[in-house]
Structure 1
Amino acid sequence: MKPTRETVRLIATDMDATLLSGEPRSISVRTRTALDAAAAAGIRVLAVSGRQPYSQATFVQGTPLADLGIGSNGAVVANLGTGETLAEEVLEPDAQTALTYALRDIFPDVKVATFRNGGNTVRAQFGYLEAIAGRQAPWPPDQQVVALDEVLGVGAVKLVAKVPGVPVDQVYAAAVALAVPGCQPTISGASWLEVSRAGVTKASTLAKVAAGLGIDAAEVVAIGDNVNDVEMLRWAGCGVAVANATPEALAAADLVTVSNEQDAVARLIEDVLSS
């Protein structure tokens, strides 16, 4: 069913390749205007991303998205204006260690990093610095390159794994086949595997946040582009895939709109408000 102004109370949007466009990536003027219009109409807008909240916040300041946000593929709920972590789901050290060593048996060159403390503490085997379009995050993360035992020794909201020279789809397929207890692997379009605590997805946390706001799934529109959006697109009353989405996201969606480079989120909001 096509979403209308009378039926929609919350619009949840992925960020990369959905909300953000251009180079360097940013929220376009048209999309900022549409986000303001949605808020003025009483529709809640929410950024739901694989990015950590500090990185999300880099893009959303000055928009209605600079409030409640979901990051780390559902593992963190934070205020994107103040940086306060409101809730988090932790991947246990035993689970992340088991998956890492299982992946090493398949891909000896795999390197990993973990995000702790609402995503604000990064411990990595390699020089991990999340691309934030050349700008500084409103609050800087604590990032250090350390030995593997230190990377894995503390529970984390997200584990990432990168294998030089191996397509991330292949690493993801291996992680899914391993089915390590306690782990929820996914991919987002970045060049690394992303792993949360088992059962934690964008959808699982969006459902909790929406319930806390008194909003039913039927009143939610979700828009996204990649594998890590699939559960969210299926859960929402209306799931929308951008034209540049992966086959998995397209198959999960109820509707398909224009690409992120054609202001997909703005188009969606404009259509809802005019219907």
Structure 2
Amino acid sequence: MRDHGPVTSSTSGPRPPAPTAPAPRLIATDLDGTLLHDDKTVSPRTVAALAAAEEAGIEVFFVTGRPARWMDVVSDHLHGHGLAICGNGAAVVDLHGGPGNHRFVTIRELAVPDALDVVQVLRAAAPGTSFAVERTGGLHHEPTYPPLHLDQGECVAPAEKLLSADFEGGAVAEQPVLKLLAYHPELGPDAFLALARTAAGDLASITRSSPSALLEISGRAVSKASTLALCCAERGISPAEVVAFGDMPNDMEMLTWAGASYAMGNAHPDVLAAATGVTASNNEDGVARVIESILAAR
């Protein structure tokens, strides 16, 4: 277990980085349950903190499990930070064009043979599992997959058909697979994650960010952390110069990789153990509090 800074509350601020730590050059923040309030808004305090960070020369990256088409929640608050890591590391996206006009900069796809193997293994290990396929062009799902998302699937068919090369005349198959989603109606979220990692963890990266038993399955070695590491390497930024924020298991690799990391006060217990510090909850502007402390220390 990592040594944590103090838990903050609505009346206390986060501890700023130690004086010997490198000055942060990049802030990497999750969205849902972290930067966003529960009503999916960005508070004025957080908007101001992000703008102040960039004015101070600190780059901001949104790092989320959301697909690019769901990034309109932050489209009004981009300022200079127009790049986002979406789909748990499956894509780096330029959001500057606005909702519906985003541009994929990097795609780290889930290989179709691996996706098919995962479907086969999980059907056997957890009968009753239903699947959805997230491609660059949208979501496609099985008939039994529940309406968990903000948009409707474009195509409905068994996962094996959705992943076939000739589906929809091959037009859909031309779009890279960003991730596979697996839902179980009876298993607990953590139990389903543990089962899936045991059964299929050698085939893909498996994580979760939903309060339900919904797993997010990416290509081998694809995670928020590994894609963030690639983006930082391009900029000559070391892990020690990164401050990261998150609240769910899909954030854990990123929080462990970053030199300084904060779990939200509302975070999953495993995330609290992975971070170097804890800040206030998302509804209490925990990210903004840390940014303000960092800027004050400078």
Same-fold call, TM > 0.5?
A: yes
Partners of 1:110 and 1:152 in 2: CA distance = 16
Alpha-carbon distance change, 53 to 253 in structure 1, aligned in 2, over 3 angstroms: same
Report whether the alignment pairs 1:205 with 2:222: no
Alpha-carbon distance change, 60 to 3 in structure 1, aligned in 2, over 3 angstroms: farther
Q: Which amino acid aligns with 2:64?
A: S
Contact 2:129 2:184 in 1 (8 A): yes
Alpha-carbon distance change, 107 to 54 in structure 1, aligned in 2, over 3 angstroms: same
Contact 1:3 1:238 in 2 (8 A): no
Partners of 1:223 and 1:269 in 2: CA distance = 11
Q: Which amino acid aligns with 2:74?
A: V
Q: Give 1:16-31 correspondences, 5 Å limit.
A: 16-23=32-39, 25-31=40-46
- Identical columns (%): 38
Alpha-carbon offset, residue 127 of structure 1: 5.5
Contact 1:47 1:69 in 2 (8 A): yes
Alpha-carbon offset, residue 69 of structure 1: 0.5
Give the corresponding residue for 1:70: 85
Partners of 2:119 and 2:153 in 1: CA distance = 22
Aligned partner of 1:106 among 116, 122, 125: 125
Aligned residues, how many?
263
Give the corresponding residue for 1:124: 141
Give the corresponding residue for 1:44: 59
Contact 1:113 1:128 in 2 (8 A): no
CA shift digits 1:14-55 (9 cap, x unpaired): 1111011032x1111111111111111111111000111111
Deviates more, 1:68-77 or 1:141-150: 141-150
Alpha-carbon offset, residue 182 of structure 1: 2.9
Alpha-carbon offset, residue 151 of structure 1: 2.2
Alpha-carbon offset, residue 193 of structure 1: 0.5
Partners of 2:163 and 2:201 in 1: CA distance = 15
Partners of 1:58 and 1:89 in 2: CA distance = 22
CA shift digits 1:68-92 (9 cap, x unpaired): 1001001110012221001111111
Partners of 1:220 and 1:6 in 2: CA distance = 9
Give the corresponding residue for 1:137: none
Q: Which amino acid aligns with 2:292?
A: E
Unpaired segments ≥5 residues, structure 1: 133-140
Alpha-carbon offset, residue 243 of structure 1: 1.1
CA shift digits 1:84-139 (9 cap, x unpaired): 0011111112211111121111322211011112xx3211113656238xxxxxxx
Q: Which has the larger radius of gyration?
A: 2
Partners of 1:203 and 1:180 in 2: CA distance = 17
